[in-house]
A and B are shown apart, each in its own frame.
Chain A
Amino acid sequence: MMGIISCKETTRLVSQGLDRELAFGERVALRVHLVICLGCRRAGRQMEFLRKAVRELAEIDLRTGF
């Protein structure tokens, strides 16, 4: 169990959550933190957006006609 985690730890868990399955305790701690923390919710959404943008790199290139 992880209990209360900081924003710094939260950003690390959000990132790792994109790469591995988080343990139950990690998921709970993360969820609790995200509910109360707007900054971490934004950072998390931005990491997900990065994934989308980079995955589509070649397609964006084509769409925008470069």
Chain B
Amino acid sequence: MAAQDAFRKQLEALRPYLVRYAALQLRDAAAAEDAVQEALLAALAGEAGFAGRANLRTWVTGILKHKIVDVIRRQAREPALPEEAEEGLEEFDGLFTRNGHWAERPTGWADPDGALEQAQFLRALEMCLERLPARTARVFMMREHLGQETAEICKELGITPTHCWVMLYRARMTLRECLQQTWFGK
């Protein structure tokens, strides 16, 4: 019993991290709390599955990933996030001249792989992700973090492939700009 209490405490200590991780993908505080709760319960019930593994957080994050996908599926029929304009890529007009050339040529990023070793870079990336419109962020995370195929994402969110590509383009261009300003351009 004492061992189980210790395990429960270790899991509980991970909760703030897990909520932040889920919220980044779901963009919905209540849904994030629910997913984390389900993951923690599943982890408690499956303690045996953890035995001998190196890292508790990695193991629980793996469980949570599945719960997040479940939440996204459940929400698919009742769109929980506000609709966003289908096209509307005018937001990037300023980046290009009238004939479609770069208004200002993108600068190269120095040592991007080194950035992946820095906690502050992670903060900057999370901040940029949080600034994305909610649905755009969700599609982007489904594609790039959860690694789902576009067809799967379209089906689950009930959107057309074209809309999906537009949202992914918007996410990438916005994140590029944001990281340029907050990290690489500094």
Which A residues are closer than 8 A to B by beta carbons?
A: 6-9, 11-12, 15-16, 18-20, 38-40, 42-43, 45-47, 49-58, 60-66
Contact = CB atoms under 8 A, between A and B. Distances in A.
A57 B129 CA distance: 11
B117 A64 contact: yes
B77 interface: no
A63 B117 CA distance: 7
Contact of B143 (A19, A39, A65): A19
Contact of A55 (B17, B108, B115, B145): B145
Contacts of A63: 117
B122 A20 contact: no
A20 B121 CA distance: 29
Interface stretch (B2-10, B30-38, B40-48, B169-177): B169-177
B106 A20 contact: no
B50 interface: no
A18 B139 CA distance: 14
Contacts of A20: 150, 161, 165
B55 A62 contact: yes
B101 interface: yes
B144 A54 contact: yes
Given A15-B168, A39-B106, A46 B176 contact: yes
Contacts of A53: 112, 115-116, 125
B169 A11 contact: yes
Nearest to A58: B61
Interface in B85-108: 92, 95-96, 99-102, 105-108
B141 interface: yes
A10 to B, nearest CB: 9
Contacts of A16: 165, 169
